[in-house]
């Protein structure tokens, strides 16, 4: 059913009205014929006479003895004038619905596909179910470019209307290579497999890794037995909603204050995030300490440093030196993260410029 904001909704309304009027004309005409025939014609024969009169197929008078009843011919005249106009009105609205619906749909899909074809370094989200919806909301919050693949495009459009954003999407099966290619997976920087079934997420992982060797693939796994299979298939990270849910339940029980802090951090303040910012190899800040780099001046709070070998330094002190390829784990607003990335990418220290 079309929603109220769809321009085709008026066509739907006119079509339903025309169908109702046409039905009334057919029933009224058949009833008049039946009444005038005084039992000599069946009601079905009367309906048949009414329909062929409205359609103007030219079969003539199919009711025996109709020429003996002038009133019946008068009904035929009225049906030809009034009923034919109603039928034409119905057919015109039906044609408008088909033409406008198909044309608008085709043009919308083509426009969207052109926008998708221009994307690079985006994220492909496979699945817009319960998990996928939260993925989409978060990606919109952080301003990431992404494309959603789902079998139900209407669900995505409704979600986009609720969120006040147009969501680029492909209507199709995410396990199909054609759908992944249409979403530009070969140009994507990442793929999120958030389908309901673990088997489907496994297929997505295999296909996405085959089409893009360098993309970061994050997959959802409901059953723990699927995790090693996803790892072998090429997933870089695997998220188990059941495991995370269990840990969260325990945390809410034994450390409620910490959980309240995280909730407020990640939910109440939608622009405050925990982000990781990689230090470029060419950054002139390499070799300098956190204090010398004046990271705090950007507004970002460094809570950990990930070394190139994968080890973490938690709560780093000001004397911690920056290394090429390391990543800073920070709590910051999105604007602060942008300033931090800009500072790390510059060739000279701001304070010495």
Domains in the chain (CATH in brackets) are 9-114 (1.10.287.70), 120-239 (3.40.50.720), 271-352 (3.30.70.1450)
* Residue 310 Rama label (left phi>0; alpha psi -120 to 50; beta): left
User: Apex CA 317: angle with CA 311 and CA 322, to 5°?
Assistant: 60
Residue 90 to residue 207: CA distance in whole angstroms: 48
Residue 183 to residue 279: CA distance in whole angstroms: 30
289 DSSP assignment? B
* Residue 39 Rama label (left phi>0; alpha psi -120 to 50; beta): left
Along the 353 residues of the chain, how does pLDDT read in single tens digits? Answer: 444 434 455 666 777 888 888 888 889 888 988 888 877 888 888 888 888 887 776 566 667 767 667 787 787 778 777 777 777 888 887 777 666 655 566 678 889 999 999 999 999 999 999 999 999 998 998 889 999 999 998 899 999 999 889 999 999 999 999 999 999 999 999 999 999 999 999 999 999 999 999 999 999 999 999 999 999 999 999 999 999 999 999 999 999 999 988 888 776 656 788 899 999 888 888 999 999 988 888 999 999 999 999 899 999 999 999 999 999 999 988 889 988 988 888 744 444 44
* Residue 251 Rama label (left phi>0; alpha psi -120 to 50; beta): alpha
The 3 state secondary structure assigned to the chain is CCCCCCCCHHHHHHHHHHHHHHHHHHHHHHHHHHHHHCCCCCHHHHHHHHHHHHHCCCCCCCCCCHHHCHHHHHHHHHHHHHHHHHHHHHHHHHHHHHHHHHHHHHHHHHHHHHHHHCCCCCEEEECCCHHHHHHHHHHHHHCCCEEEEECCHHHHHHHHHHHCCCCCEEECCCCCHHHHHHCCHHHCCEEEECCCCHHHHHHHHHHHHHHCCCCEEEEECCCHHHHHHHHHHCCCEEECHHHHHHHHHHHHHHCHHHHHHHHHHHHHCCCEEEEEEECCCCCCCCCCEHHHHCHHHHCCEEEEEECCCCCEEECCCCCCECCCCCEEEEEEEHHHHHHHHHHHHCCCCHHHC
Q: Which residues contact 201 (CB under 8 A, 6 or more apart)?
A: 126, 193, 194, 195, 219, 220, 221, 226, 230
Structure tokens of 279?
Answer: 């230090």
Residue 315 to residue 313: CA distance in whole angstroms: 7
């Amino acid at each position: 059913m079309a929603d109220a904001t769809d321009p085709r909704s008026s066509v739907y309304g006119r079509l339903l009205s025309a169908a109702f009027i046409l039905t009334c004309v057919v029933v009224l005409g058949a009833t008049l014929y039946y009444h005038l025939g005084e039992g000599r014609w069946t009601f079905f024969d009367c309906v048949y006479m009414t329909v062929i009169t409205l359609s103007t197929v030219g079969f003539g008078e199919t009711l025996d003895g109709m020429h003996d009843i002038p009133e019946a011919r008068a009904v035929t005249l009225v049906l030809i004038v009034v009923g034919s106009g109603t039928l034409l009105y119905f057919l015109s609205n039906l044609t408008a619905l088909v033409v406008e619906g198909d044309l608008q749909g085709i043009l919308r899909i083509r426009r969207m596909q052109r926008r998708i074809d221009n994307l690079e370094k985006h994220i492909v989200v496979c699945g817009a179910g319960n998990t996928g919806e939260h993925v989409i909301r978060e990606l919109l919050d952080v301003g990431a470019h992404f494309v959603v693949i789902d079998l139900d495009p209407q669900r995505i459009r409704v979600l986009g209307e609720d969120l006040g954003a147009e969501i680029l999407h492909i209507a199709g099966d995410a396990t199909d290579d054609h759908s992944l290619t249409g979403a530009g997976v070969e140009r994507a920087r990442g793929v999120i497999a958030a389908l309901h079934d673990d088997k489907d997420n496994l297929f997505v992982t295999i296909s996405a890794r085959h089409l893009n060797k360098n993309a970061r693939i994050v997959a959802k796994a409901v059953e723990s037995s699927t995790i090693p299979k996803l790892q072998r298939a090429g997933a870089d990270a695997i998220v188990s909603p059941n495991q995370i849910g269990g840990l969260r339940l325990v945390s809410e029980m034994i450390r409620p204050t910490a959980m309240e802090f995280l909730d407020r951090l990640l939910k109440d303040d939608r622009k405050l995030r925990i982000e990781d910012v990689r230090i470029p190899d060419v950054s002139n800040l390499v070799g300098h300490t956190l204090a010398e780099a004046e990271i705090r001046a950007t507004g970002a709070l460094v809570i950990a440093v990930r070394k190139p070998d994968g080890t973490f330094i938690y709560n780093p002190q000001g004397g911690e030196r920056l290394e090429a390829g390391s990543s800073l784990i920070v709590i910051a607003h999105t604007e602060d993260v942008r300033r931090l990335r800009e500072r790390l990418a510059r060739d000279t220290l701001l304070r010495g410029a």
